[in-house]
Structure 1
């Protein structure tokens, strides 16, 4: 049975293949973008586009209510593909701001719309140093310094907002993305192909209890056993 799904970040690297998968699975998808051009691309994928900025809390709430969302998926980032290394500090700050403020607005809109489940994108390389492989119960690196502290701080804010909200909050801690639309042909471990990342979000629509799931290819650094067992996810 299909659900009414509000996909924030539908025109992004994960959002595009995820839109395709959701529509093929019989879900009714409303996908957000800030671009009229990308709205047409979402229509071609079978989604109903919503041109809205996540920082416009009122417009976001109106769009989600109009979609009558049952499930919300958060795939928003503020990182272009192929980031210029000389501008990493700028983009890390922008992405952390989106994870803080954008996620807060998205959670509020989700609650106002009465949606029951929120699936959100996070990252799998924010763990504090410790025994490997890292599992979901391991602490995040709250003592990080410099640029890493900016990124990890944004991740912590996103995850806490999703996991403490009065709904079914699921956080997918993705490995480093590679594949079409990412600007990366092959990422260092922990890594995950963008299509496999999209499949994890599709599975989380109906499977898995509230909580955190590592989503990455087999490697020494990270265990994705929980995602395999509860979501039925595989990297291949």
Structure 2
């Protein structure tokens, strides 16, 4: 099939494009930057340059590519600022609202029959059980400071699922780790853990779901090629509380155990948004993706992935295990 990947040079795009090529698809990679065309060619894609926030440029890019499938991976995530979460995600929120609308409009004009879009697990309402399925309430009660970000995620989901002219699939990815992510060898979150600037807040009872970026890319290939329209949690097999996974991550990186701070102090350090994510977040079940997409993560647990991350970090620094 002819597949257009929007956001093809991001962390996901760099994993996804070569996998689609290897699976036999003709891949067109959309990027805003002229200078990244060589990167896309190296990944095996036909470069298409367009600013996702410019409706006419997107229309031309999609018309030029004439894809059967569009994969929406548009983000512009900069340095994480939990105290001002919506401000930090402002550009990404525009890509998830305006950019989504532009892509859907252009895709409809050329007869795209399948549209796969990125979402994020952290929007589940923080009530009831610790692990959520796709049928649980999502995005109706965002934490303070995340209203715009969760609203933008809901816009992606609602718009894609409402596209009656195409099969719309939404992938609620877990927290990414691995190459070119903030939890990679030299990533922002990794460095914060090494420097003990990523504390366990309160009881650390917030439940997170992770997925290695390569496993998420493989799930996305599966969604391009099959699966019924709808929402899928793309996460590993072990949702875990912050109090459980954060000390393991620190140990894997050879760092001292994370500090523990009361919830009140956490609010001062990370704001209300960060505190809620540390203490109230709900994880996600991957049962539907396994059954309907025929996918399973190669790193079944973040424990395996964090050990791999630690080993890579030691190899790069030249330190012994």
Taking structure 2 as the reference length, what is the TM-score of the superposition? 0.69
CA distance in 2: counterparts of 1:154 and 1:193, whole angstroms = 24
Q: Which residue of 2 aligns with 1:24?
A: 22
Q: Deviations over 1:192-231 (max 9, x none)?
A: 1110111111011111100000000112421100000111
User: Residue 145 of structure 1: CA displacement?
Assistant: 4.1
User: Residue 132 of structure 1: CA displacement?
Assistant: 3.1
Summarize the alignment of residues 56-135 of structure 1 with structure 2, pairs less than 5 Å apart: 56-80=54-78, 82-83=79-80, 88-129=85-126, 130-135=128-133
| Pair 1:233 & 2:252 matched | no
CA distance in 2: counterparts of 1:168 and 1:105, whole angstroms = 17
CA distance in 1: counterparts of 2:35 and 2:86, whole angstroms = 29
| Pair 1:194 & 2:213 matched | yes
CA distance in 2: counterparts of 1:173 and 1:89, whole angstroms = 19
1:153 alignment partner, SS class: helix
User: Residue 91 of structure 1: CA displacement?
Assistant: 2.1
CA distance in 1: counterparts of 2:83 and 2:139, whole angstroms = 24
User: Residue 33 of structure 1: CA displacement?
Assistant: 0.7
CA distance in 2: counterparts of 1:61 and 1:25, whole angstroms = 27
CA contact (8 A) 1:122 1:171 kept: yes
1:205 alignment partner, SS class: helix
User: Residue 84 of structure 1: CA displacement?
Assistant: 5.2
1:146 alignment partner, SS class: coil
Give the alignment partner of residue 45 of structure 2, picking from 41, 44, 47. Answer: 47
Q: Deviations over 1:155-177 (max 9, x none)?
A: 11110010001210000000011
User: Residue 89 of structure 1: CA displacement?
Assistant: 3.6
CA distance in 2: counterparts of 1:168 and 1:17, whole angstroms = 23
Q: Which residue of 2 aligns with 1:222?
A: 284
2:295 alignment partner, SS class: coil
CA contact (8 A) 1:61 1:113 kept: no
2:145 alignment partner, SS class: helix
For structure 2, list consecutive stretches of 5 or more residues without a partner in the other structure: 191-206, 240-282, 299-321
| Pair 1:155 & 2:153 matched | yes
Taking structure 1 as the reference length, what is the TM-score of the superposition? 0.93
Q: Deviations over 1:72-99 (max 9, x none)?
A: 000111203x535566442222222211
Provide the aligned length of Structure 1 versus Structure 2.
Answer: 233
CA contact (8 A) 1:92 1:147 kept: no
CA distance in 2: counterparts of 1:145 and 1:127, whole angstroms = 10
2:117 alignment partner, SS class: strand
For structure 1, list consecutive stretches of 5 or more residues without a partner in the other structure: none
CA contact (8 A) 2:120 2:153 kept: yes
With 119-128 and 145-154 compared, the bigger mean Cα shift is at 145-154
Determine which structure has more spread, i.e. the larger CA radius of gyration. Answer: 2
CA distance in 2: counterparts of 1:145 and 1:205, whole angstroms = 32
User: Residue 146 of structure 1: CA displacement?
Assistant: 2.5
User: Residue 18 of structure 1: CA displacement?
Assistant: 0.3
Greater share of residues in helix: 2
User: Residue 141 of structure 1: CA displacement?
Assistant: 3.0
